[in-house]
């Protein structure tokens, strides 16, 4: 027996005595077997004892399809616990476990793969299996994605994500001056905005949330509870924002990444992470106002962002040099402030010597953003 959690045991080949022990003293109520019944280690007594609660889902590394992933997810979701998931070495069994947990908890691809590594699941050692899991965790019908830039002065990126099936969409970090542009894109793509989301309470521009809500009745604003700002929906670390088709929603996992401000969060979706000002391309947000803390920001980035898979695409709230995207791997290697070659002491020293000017629009932006841009 290799791994046990949540009433699930991942197992390799078992002797008949081990099978008997699992059934008699382990109280096992169901079983998934991933090899053919002709396999010498087939748990015959488990099949005869458990009846319909015994499922054979053959997982052949040379023939991995979406149907295999669906069969594993269905069996994991419907069979009673405790359950044994068995293959020859417990490697493929780990695939079934993480596919199920990702769907159960609405974990996006990057977050699920991070957790699988933390659990020590062995399928990462075999590239075809790792690729199969990664591909199975992607949003299956694809995702509508647009990166929009604020030309009015703040160099803010606004992100539109939409479901091509239901046409539901969300907008991340809108800018007041660019609302008409955003609405035109939404209309052109025949989308319906469900949520307008902010990564934090911005100091350099007024959010477009208020104007969007006025023009789109029913639209809900979203921001972290720790920001202190008004919103229809207040989120916290570990929450999931879902939109799109109910049968296959698109999920944004909320990760608290304070340090630039106390209310900063990042949103993980599929193989993308929207980092706000916590992590910029080859940089980060300042830490000298709004409850900022260099120590907190270092810890946030290292624990919540740099633990994501290296190929996770990074989409920040700003870039001042025309760069549109990075990856977690790039920033770990190349970020001059937060890269893995820097210690926390190095980072604190760097941030304490930036000598940045007072933000030009903070006295106007902050009061408005604390009200989501809506005057009482």
Q: Which tens digits make up the pLDDT trace of 135-168?
A: 999 887 789 999 999 999 999 999 999 999 999 9
Quickly state the pLDDT bin for 321 (edges 50, 70, 90): very high
pLDDT at 365: 74
| CATH 3.60.15.10, the chain: domain bounds | 144-369
**Between 370 and 14, residue with greater pLDDT:** 14
pLDDT at 250: 96
pLDDT in the model for residue 372: 66
Q: Tell me, what's the pLDDT at 361? A: 66
Domain 3-137: assigned CATH number: 3.90.190.10
* pLDDT of 303: 98
Residue 374 banded pLDDT, cuts 50, 70, 90: low
pLDDT digits (tens, 9 = 90+) for 236-278: 999 999 999 998 899 999 999 999 999 999 999 999 999 999 9
Q: Is the pLDDT of residue 3 over 80?
A: no
CATH no. of 144-369: 3.60.15.10
Tell me the whole-structure pTM to 2 decimals.
0.92
| Predicted local confidence at residue 142, as pLDDT | 85
pLDDT tens sequence across 23-69: 999 899 999 999 999 999 999 999 999 999 999 999 999 999 999 99
Closest CA to 222 of 246, 239, 205: 239
User: 98 vs 290, which has greater pLDDT?
Assistant: 98
Question: Given this model, what pLDDT does residue 293 score?
Answer: 97
Taking residues 364-375, what's their average pLDDT?
67
User: Residue 357's pLDDT is what?
Assistant: 73
Query: What is the pLDDT at residue 362?
Result: 65
Per-residue pLDDT, averaged over 309-323, amounts to 97
Judged against a pLDDT cut of 60, whether residue 346 lies above it is answered with yes
Give CA–CA dist 75/56, Å, rounded: 9
pLDDT band at residue 367 using 50, 70 and 90 as cut-offs? confident
Model confidence at 348: pLDDT above 60 = yes
Q: What is the pLDDT of the chain when averaged over all its residues? A: 94
Share of the chain above pLDDT 70, in %: 96
Res 366 pLDDT > 80: no
Of residues 361 and 334, more confidence is placed in 334
Rounded to whole angstroms, how far apart are CA atoms 272 and 252? Answer: 10
What is the structure's pLDDT at 141?
75
> What's the pLDDT score for residue 96?
97
Average pLDDT over residues 207-218: 96
Res 333: pLDDT = 98
pLDDT at residue 368 greater than cutoff 80? no
Task: Give residue 117's pLDDT.
Answer: 95
- Per-residue confidence (pLDDT) for residue 109, from 0 to 100: 96
Q: In this predicted model, which residue has the larger pLDDT, 132 or 141?
A: 132
Model confidence pLDDT, tens digit, residues 278-311:
999 999 999 998 789 999 999 999 999 999 999 9
Domain with CATH 3.90.190.10 in the chain: 3-137
The answer to whether the CB of 252 falls within 8 A of the CB of 276 is: no
């Amino acid at each position: 027996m290799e791994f046990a959690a949540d009433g699930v045991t991942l197992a390799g080949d078992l002797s008949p005595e081990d099978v008997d022990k699992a059934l008699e003293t382990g109280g096992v109520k169901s079983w998934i077997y991933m090899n053919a019944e002709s396999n010498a280690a087939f748990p015959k007594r488990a099949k005869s004892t458990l009846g319909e609660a015994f499922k054979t889902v053959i997982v052949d590394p040379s023939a991995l399809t979406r149907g295999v992933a669906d069969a594993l997810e269905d069996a994991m979701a419907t069979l009673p616990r405790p359950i044994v998931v068995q293959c020859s070495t417990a490697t493929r069994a780990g695939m079934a476990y993480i596919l199920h947990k990702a769907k159960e908890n609405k974990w996006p691809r990057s977050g699920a793969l991070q957790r699988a590594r933390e659990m020590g699941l062995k399928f990462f050692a075999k590239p075809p299996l790792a690729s199969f899991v990664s591909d199975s965790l992607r949003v299956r019908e694809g995702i509508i994605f647009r990166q929009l830039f604020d030309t009015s002065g703040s160099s803010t990126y606004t992100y539109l994500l939409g479901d091509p099936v239901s046409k539901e969409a969300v907008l991340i970090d809108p800018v007041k001056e660019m609302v008409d542009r955003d609405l035109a894109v939404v209309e052109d793509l025949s989308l319906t905005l469900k949520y307008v989301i902010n990564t934090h309470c911005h100091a350099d521009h007024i959010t477009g949330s208020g104007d969007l809500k006025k023009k789109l009745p029913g639209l809900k604003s979203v921001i972290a509870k720790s920001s202190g700002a008004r919103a229809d929906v207040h989120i916290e670390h570990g929450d999931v924002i879902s939109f799109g088709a109910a049968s296959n929603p698109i999920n944004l996992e909320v990760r608290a990444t304070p340090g630039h401000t106390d209310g900063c969060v990042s949103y993980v979706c599929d193989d993308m992470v929207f980092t706000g000002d916590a992590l910029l391309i080859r940089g980060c947000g300042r830490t000298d106002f709004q409850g900022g803390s260099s120590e907190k920001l270092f810890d946030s980035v290292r624990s919540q962002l740099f633990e994501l898979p290296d190929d996770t695409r990074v989409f920040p709230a700003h870039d001042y040099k025309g760069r549109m995207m990075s990856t977690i791997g790039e920033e770990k290697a190349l970020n001059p402030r937060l890269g893995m070659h820097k210690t926390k002491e190095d980072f604190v020293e760097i941030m304490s010597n930036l000598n940045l000017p007072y933000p030009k629009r903070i006295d106007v932006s902050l009061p408005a953003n604390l009200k989501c841009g809506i005057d009482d």
